[in-house]
């Protein structure tokens, strides 16, 4: 069933767990994610990232995501990931997306607040939820192989408090040690920072760059207030790796539908393992 981000985050708050947010730039991802969530009977967030527009236009994927969410046996939020311009975000709301992320994290603080307030008004008119970001995450969504120092742009807890108070967002994306894409060295997360932001804002915290983080670290951030975890790159890589393996072993003719089904099978398995951890109840630390 189609629900809002607020709805799934309320489930996560009651259970002290996190809901996975997965990008769906192709049918293999969309169907692989949904079947994994359904097998675990867990809610899920299906996302379209603005940065995936060249692979899959919003007008094409939006109606597919919404229809599959409505048909699903589990609560599914259809969310726009990293909307960086407001007309694009409005297009998603008009299609019926039940949640949008406005990403003004690279803008000056006051400009980020003003734009986020505008998005809040647009989303409210449609009954949709809003996630916004403060602090900067290195790497674009779906990017690979980069090696910046994330500590340079961690979210400041006091600024986060002010940001939440002045915007009234439903979920806050923060920077505390994760990066988008592939980790070249093991991520070191600032758990105290997550706890402090949670304590000061009282809001569900969103962790981007959830791929490649250890299961233990997932449990630790969930105990400290993370309620949505964005996970994409490693599931996409799992799909590609399975395709490579089958292609190397293939004896006869390979058709494109075989490639898609190999990808979907591996995405399904990877996402199922991931949701299993997100969906465990943790003991709250704050």
Residues taking part in catalysis: 81
81/270 with CB nearer Zn ion: 81
Minimal distance, residue 143 CB to Zn ion, in Å? 10
3-state secondary structure 205-243: EEECCCCCCCHHHHHHHHHCCEEEEECCHHHHHHHHHHH
218/262 with CB nearer Zn ion: 218
Minimal distance, residue 281 CB to Zn ion, in Å? 25
Minimal distance, residue 133 CB to Zn ion, in Å? 8
Q: How many residues bind Zn ion (CB under 5 A)?
A: 2
Minimal distance, residue 118 CB to Zn ion, in Å? 21
3-state secondary structure 155-190: CCHHHHHHHHHHHCCCEEEECCCCCCCCCCCCCCCC
242/274 with CB nearer Zn ion: 274
Which residue is nearest to Zn ion, using beta carbons? 208
In the window 188-217, what residues touch Zn ion (CB under 5 A)? 208
3-class secondary structure, 21: strand
For residue 285, the 8-state DSSP code is: -
Q: Enumerate residues 6+ apart whose C-beta is below 8 A from 55.
A: 25, 26
Considering the rule CB under 5 A, would residue 79 count as an interface residue with Zn ion? no
Considering the rule CB under 5 A, would residue 52 count as an interface residue with Zn ion? no
208/224 with CB nearer Zn ion: 208
Per-residue b/e over 213-246, b at no fewer than 16 CB within 10 Å?
Answer: beeebbbbbbbbbbbbbbbbbbbbbbbeebbeeb
Q: Binding marks (x or -) toward Zn ion, 129..148, rule CB under 5 A?
A: ------------x-------
Beta bridge partners of 169: none
β-strand pairing of 205-207 with 226-230: parallel
Separation CA 179–CA 148 (nearest Å):
9
Minimal distance, residue 42 CB to Zn ion, in Å? 21
Q: Enumerate residues 6+ apart whose C-beta is below 8 A from 22.
A: 29, 33, 44, 45, 46, 47, 230, 231, 232, 235, 271
32/135 with CB nearer Zn ion: 135
Interface residues toward Zn ion, by CB under 5 A: 141, 208
């Amino acid at each position: 069933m189609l629900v809002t981000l607020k709805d799934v985050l309320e489930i996560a708050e009651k259970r002290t767990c996190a809901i996975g947010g997965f990008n769906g730039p192709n049918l293999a991802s969309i169907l692989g994610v949904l079947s994994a969530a359904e097998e675990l009977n867990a809610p899920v967030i299906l996302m379209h990232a603005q940065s995936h527009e060249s692979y899959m236009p919003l007008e094409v994927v939006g109606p597919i995501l919404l229809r599959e969410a409505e048909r699903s046996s589990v609560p599914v939020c259809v969310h726009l990931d990293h909307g960086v311009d407001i007309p694009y975000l409005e297009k998603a709301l008009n299609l019926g997306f039940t949640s949008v992320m406005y990403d003004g994290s690279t803008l000056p603080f006051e400009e980020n607040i003003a734009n986020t307030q505008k998005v809040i008004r647009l989303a409210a008119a449609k009954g949709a939820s809003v996630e916004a970001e403060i602090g900067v995450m290195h790497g674009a969504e779906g990017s690979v192989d980069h090696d910046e120092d994330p500590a340079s742009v961690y979210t400041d807890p006091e600024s986060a408090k002010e940001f939440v108070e002045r915007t009234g967002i439903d979920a806050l994306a923060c920077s505390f040690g994760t990066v988008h894409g592939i980790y070249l060295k093991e991520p070191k997360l600032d758990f105290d920072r997550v706890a402090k932001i949670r304590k000061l804002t009282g809001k569900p915290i969103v962790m981007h760059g959830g791929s490649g983080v250890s299961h233990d670290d997932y449990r630790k951030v969930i105990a400290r207030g993370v309620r949505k975890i964005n996970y994409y790159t490693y599931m996409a890589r799992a799909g590609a790796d399975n395709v490579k393996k089958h292609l190397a072993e293939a004896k006869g003719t390979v058709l494109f539908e075989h490639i898609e089904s190999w990808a979907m099978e591996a995405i399904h398995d990877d996402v199922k393992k991931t949701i299993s951890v997100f969906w465990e109840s943790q003991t709250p630390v704050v």
